[in-house]
């Protein structure tokens, strides 16, 4: 089998396992509570926040992103940055640029060396590690798919070029056959006229 396809499948399995781990950890700890407010509560766990965003309409997700980009002072920096990374990379129209931005935000949290005693901040820091892995794998998968698609496109172009060359050669063969037939007729005509 193609090694690129094997790599893509392996990465897809890893992402699926990470997503399952996120889902399972949230199901074990606390049941999902639907958030009614416009903005999520500071004390809301990271996985519950993620679920709230996933279940929210796109307009709510966009509003939440704008709110977090304004750097509300009510939110802790780790919580705000993690939430901004999640909301930046969760939207339906998320681009690879949005994902790179989210990865950059998550790396800030991952590289924080200060001790964290607050359970909510600690939860967001752990979630940021998992979300960073998910986004990294997503980008690797996207790059692999693009690479495979470019390979398919190059092969498709090569096949089309070969088909065009084949058609041109067939026309030349037909032209040569026609010339040969004309020459044969002339020779037959000469042989008949002694």
pLDDT tens digits, one per residue of 77-117 = 889 899 999 999 887 678 888 889 999 999 998 888 777 78
The pLDDT tens digits of the residues spanning 19-31 come to 655 555 655 444 4
Transcribe 117-132 into DSSP letters: --HHHHHHHHHHHHHH
CA distance 77 to 72: 9
Which residue, 134, 122, 121, 123, is CA-closest to 90?
Answer: 134
Is there a contact between 134 and 15 (Cβ–Cβ < 8 Å)? yes
The pLDDT tens digits of the residues spanning 111-156 come to 887 777 888 888 999 999 999 999 999 889 888 998 999 988 889 9
Query: CB neighbours of 22 closer than 8 A, spacing ≥ 6?
Result: 47, 50, 127, 130, 134
CA distance 122 to 5: 37
Percent of the chain surpassing pLDDT 70 = 78
Four-CA torsion 144, 147, 151, 156, nearest 10 degrees: 100
pTM of the predicted structure, to 2 decimals: 0.60
CA distance 82 to 129: 10
Residue 71 gets the label, from left (phi > 0), alpha (psi -120 to 50) or beta, of left
């Amino acid at each position: 089998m193609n090694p690129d396809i094997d790599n893509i499948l392996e990465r897809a399995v890893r992402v699926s396992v990470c997503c399952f781990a996120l889902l399972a950890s949230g199901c074990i700890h606390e049941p999902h509570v639907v958030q009614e407010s416009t903005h999520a509560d500071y004390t809301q766990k990271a996985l519950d926040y993620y679920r709230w965003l996933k279940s929210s309409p796109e307009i709510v997700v966009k509003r939440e992103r704008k709110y977090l980009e304004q750097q509300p002072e009510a939110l802790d920096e780790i919580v705000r940055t993690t939430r901004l990374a999640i909301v930046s990379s969760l939207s339906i129209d998320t681009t690879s640029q949005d994902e790179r931005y989210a990865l950059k935000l998550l790396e800030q949290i991952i590289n924080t060396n200060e001790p964290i005693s607050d359970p909510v901040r600690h939860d967001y820091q752990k979630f940021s590690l998992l979300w960073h892995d998910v986004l990294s794998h997503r980008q690797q998968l996207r790059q692999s798919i693009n690479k495979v698609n470019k390979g398919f496109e190059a092969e498709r172009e090569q096949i089309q070029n070969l088909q065009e060359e084949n058609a041109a050669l067939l026309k030349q063969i037909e032209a040569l056959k026609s010339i040969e037939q004309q020459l044969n007729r002339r020779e037959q005509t000469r042989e008949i006229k002694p």
